Structures are given as C-alpha cells and as structure tokens.
Amino acid sequence: MSEAAAHDHHDAQSTGLMRWLTTTNHKDIGTLYLLFSLTMFFIGGSMAMVIRLELFQPGLQFVDPQFYNSMTTMHALIMIFGAVMPAWTGFANWMIPIMIGAPDMALPRLNNWSFWILPFAFLMLLSTLFMPGGAPAGGWTMYPPLVLQTGDAFPYLIFAIHFLGASSIAGAINVIATVFNMRAPGMTLMKLPLFVWTWIITAFLLIASIPVLAGAVTMLLTDKYFGTAFFSAAGGGDPVMFQHIFWFFGHPEVYILILPAFGIVSAIIPTFARKPLFGYSSMVYATGAIAFLSFIVWAHHMFTVGMPLAGELFFMYTTVLIAVPTGVKIFNWVATMWRGSMTFETPMLFALAFVVLFTIGGFSGLMLGVTPVDFQYHDTYFVVAHFHYVLVTGAVFALMAGTYFWLPKWTGHMYNETLGKWHFWLSTISVNVLFFPQHFLGLSGMPRRIPDYAVQFSDFNMVSSIGGFIYGASQILFVVVVVKCIRGGKKATDQVWEGAQGLEWTLPSPPPLHSFTEAPDPSSITGGNR
C-alpha cells in the first residue's frame, strides 16, 4: 500500500468507529463520558419511575418486593457511578485542559482506558437483572448480612464496583497530573478557575476513598465465597464494621458528587452577574475545608447502631461544622450577584435554582446531623428527601447548568433558549413536587425502601409520584435541546454571553478588588480576555 493510500485508509478509520474506540483526544473522551452519562441517567431514571409507579398507591400493584428492592439498589448505583460521576469526568476532560492552557490531558491513553472500562462495568451490573435470584436487593450501601443473600448476581455486583473504582482512580490521577504539570506559564494555583480547583480536590478525595470501598466489597466477597467472617457475628466478625468502612468511603463520595457542581456554579454566576466572583481565595479554602471534614463525619449515617455517647457527640459536632464552609460558598455566590447586571439565560436559571434548592438540602442535612433528632428521622423518607435535594437539585441541576453554559463552546452552535427555559421550569417545578412532600412523609414516619405503606401516606405519595413522572418526561426535552444544538442552529460567536466578554467560559482569578458601594467598572468586565 502506498503512503498516500495508507494515509487515506487511516483517515477513513479515524472518522468511523475506530476513532471513538482509540481516541486519546480530551474533547472526544469528554464527549464520550457525557453521552454515556446521559444514557445512564435515563436508565437509572427509568428505575426511579418503576419505584414511583409502585408507590403511587398503597398495596402491591406492579412489581414484587424483591424486584422493587433491586430497583432501589440499581437506581442508586447507576445514578451515582454511572450518571453523575462520569458526567463530572466528562466536564473535566473537556474543560480542564482549556482552562489551564494545556494541549490535552497529561495521560491520554490512560484517559481512553478509564472511559472504556465503564460500559463493560455497567453491562456486568445491568446483566444481574437477568440472573436467577434477580439483581442485588440489599440497597446501594450493600450492608451485610442482607446483601450476602444475593444469589448468582453477587460477584457481578462486586466486580462491577471494582471496575468503576478503577476507572475513577485513573481519571483522578489524570486530573492531578494534568493540573500540576501542564498549567500555562504564570498560572499559579491561586489563579486557577474554581472549576479546576474543585476538581483537583475531588480527585484527591477519589484517590483517598475509592480504595476503602474496594477493600470493603472484597471483604464481602471473601465472606460469601472464601469462608472468612469479617462481618459475621457468628464467626467473631461485626456487621457494623462494614458500615464504618463503607461510610468512610461513602461520605467523601457525596462530596465527590457535589464539589465540581460548586466549581461550575462559581463560573456561571459571575458571568451572568457581569461581576468577578466574590471572595475567590475563601472559596478555595472553603472547598479544601469541606474535603478535609468529609473524612471525619462518616458515622452520622450510623447514629442508630449503638455508638458510645462520645462517638455520637464527635460525629454530631463535626457534621454541624461542615455547614460553615458550605455557608461561606453560598454567601459568596449571593455576594457575587449583589448589584450585578444580571440576566437570566438558561445556565443562570439552573445555577440560581441550584443555590436555593441545594440550600434546602443543606438545611435538612443539618437537621439530620443532630443526633437525638436523627433517631426520629433515620431510615425514613426525610433522608430520601434530603439527599435528593442535594444530588438532584444540587449535582444534576449543576450538570444541566454547565451543559447549557458550555454547549455553544462544545458544538459551535447556540442551543434553543426557549426550549431550554421550558426544560428549566418544568424540571424545577416538578422536582419540588416530587421531593418536597417526602419531607412530610418522613417526619410522619414512612420508612424508606419499602414497596408498600400505610394508607395515611397515600396522598403525599401520589403527589410525589406525579411530580416524578413529569420530571422524568421533561428530561426528554433536554435531549431534544442538545441534539438540535449538535445538529446546527445559530452560530456561536467568540463572545457567547452578551456583555460578558472575557468572562464567557473561564473567569481568570483572582479578580480585581472591588467595593459593594459602587457599580463595577464596565471596562474591567468588557475589556477582552483580562
């Protein structure tokens, strides 16, 4: 084959399937992550629809209790490890090299590998739905001895989690290597955009916590198949030890899911307020403080297991303390908007909804952090309401905000603003109809993960389910917006968001000093890429 023919052959290959299988380009891999995560969002969401359908009325209507519990388990695992985490990794792949002036990620082939592990891991996990004995039904927390009753599906669950962890650790190593070694000359750490900062801290959390989960699930595996008794009281083990090990991973994990959201909101709010971010360095330190504290609050998930009083007090105080740096962030976002020239395009609407609704989730978390009160709320729908406010109106809304914000950069086209706003309002109204009543259900004693319930909970459950169906359906609109944008539309200019030149995609930091008594100097905002 001549050299020219070989070159043509290579080009033909690189445009087809092989391009996507073998790509080491950070933008391609970012796109793969985002498309994969969107697919998982709908698979996990369809499981949530099954849950809400069963709970629409009391009594057993559609599925048997075993399958119902499989749905709650799989829904959580897919949404956490399949939808939210890969989506953040997709954002990191796309934006971090651009934000720090690097040509690509530091470890491009590792990058390709860490993505392609994911589809196989989820095929293993989803295949358990078709196995004798059914999918795992022990909750996403996989507590023994319940999870050990899982049949043939058990090793598939454990190995899938190992693969997901390997993918996350590889991605985290890549982010750290990239940011520390490939920043543009003169870009010190305290000049990094906040999205990059939140991702560095997230990467360290991943590297510190995922191996703990790997250890816990390996011990489960040896308990079931190799005769060990780590978590079996009959053999001298302790099932509560599993909870300690699991939540030592699990609490940093919830910050892994939310910290990149803080970074995105910290990019969007200054853009649409036409003002530099208020308190850049305090935002960096607050993020670091949250990450550090996330490792010493884990047992607030376990107040009811019979801890000593000193342990309960310790975990209560550290849990309440973590509200302080989170409050600093919310204050800074509000201060950024104060006297800004705000406009309300779709990314800003999602970012504002994030600030308000994430704060609701934060306050209910503060309630759950108070030990004697938690004894009443524990394992009720109040907890379900709390973490869905943090993860749906928190993480998922920030993902939506970031997608609308950067779609013009990714595709070269503007999305349809009218459809975007429809998507926002339908999502925001329905998500509150879905999750707000669950606070009342929990406060009146409805337990979670139960397919049937007493009749006094009927009305709120029906309202919640209707909200859930509308929320699920309105996400189809999101896909329509994204597909229309990819296929064409108004060309995006180099200054996508009007009047925010130099602020549109990354905000160089730290910003100039400013005072709240005067309107910001327009030249500091519209003067090109400062």
**Does residue 436 form part of some domain?**
yes
Number of domains in the chain: 1
pLDDT at 528 (0 to 100): 38
Read off φ and ψ for residue 259, nearest 5 degrees: -60, -45
pLDDT at 489 (0 to 100): 82
The answer for residues whose C-beta is within 8 angstroms of residue 43's C-beta and 6 or more apart is: 78, 82, 126
- Say if residues 468 and 437 touch (Cβ distance below 8 Å): no
- Say if residues 63 and 50 touch (Cβ distance below 8 Å): yes
Chain segment 39-78, per-residue pLDDT in tens: 999 999 999 999 999 999 999 999 999 999 999 999 999 9
pLDDT at 14 (0 to 100): 59
State in Å, rounded, how far the first CA of the chain is from the last one: 51
pLDDT at 92 (0 to 100): 98
**Does residue 93 form part of some domain?**
yes
**Does residue 6 form part of some domain?**
no
**Does residue 90 form part of some domain?**
yes
pLDDT at 504 (0 to 100): 41
Which domain does 282 fall in, by range? 20-524
Tokens of 489: 């539309």
**Does residue 303 form part of some domain?**
yes
pLDDT in tens, the chain (530 residues): 454 444 444 554 556 889 999 999 999 999 999 999 999 999 999 999 999 999 999 999 999 999 999 999 999 999 999 999 999 999 999 999 999 999 999 999 999 999 999 999 999 999 999 999 889 999 999 999 999 988 899 999 999 999 999 999 999 999 999 999 999 999 999 999 999 999 999 999 999 999 999 999 999 999 999 999 999 999 999 999 999 999 999 999 999 999 999 999 999 999 999 999 999 999 999 999 999 999 999 999 999 999 999 999 999 999 999 999 999 999 999 999 999 999 999 999 999 999 999 999 999 999 999 999 999 999 999 999 999 999 999 999 999 999 999 999 999 999 999 999 999 999 999 999 999 999 999 999 999 999 999 999 999 999 999 999 999 999 999 999 999 999 988 898 877 776 444 444 444 444 444 444 444 444 444 433 33
d(CA 488, CA 51): 37
d(CA 201, CA 480): 34
**Does residue 89 form part of some domain?**
yes
pLDDT at 95 (0 to 100): 96
Coil, strand or helix at 203: helix
- Say if residues 33 and 87 touch (Cβ distance below 8 Å): yes
What residues are labeled active site? 75, 104, 140, 167-168, 251, 253, 255, 266, 300-301, 326, 329, 448
Q: Give the CATH number, domain containing residue 90.
A: 1.20.210.10
**Does residue 510 form part of some domain?**
yes
Tokens of 249: 């991973």
Read off φ and ψ for residue 109, nearest 5 degrees: -75, -35
**Does residue 152 form part of some domain?**
yes
pTM of the predicted model as reported, rounded to 2 decimal places: 0.91
Strands (E), 418-477: none
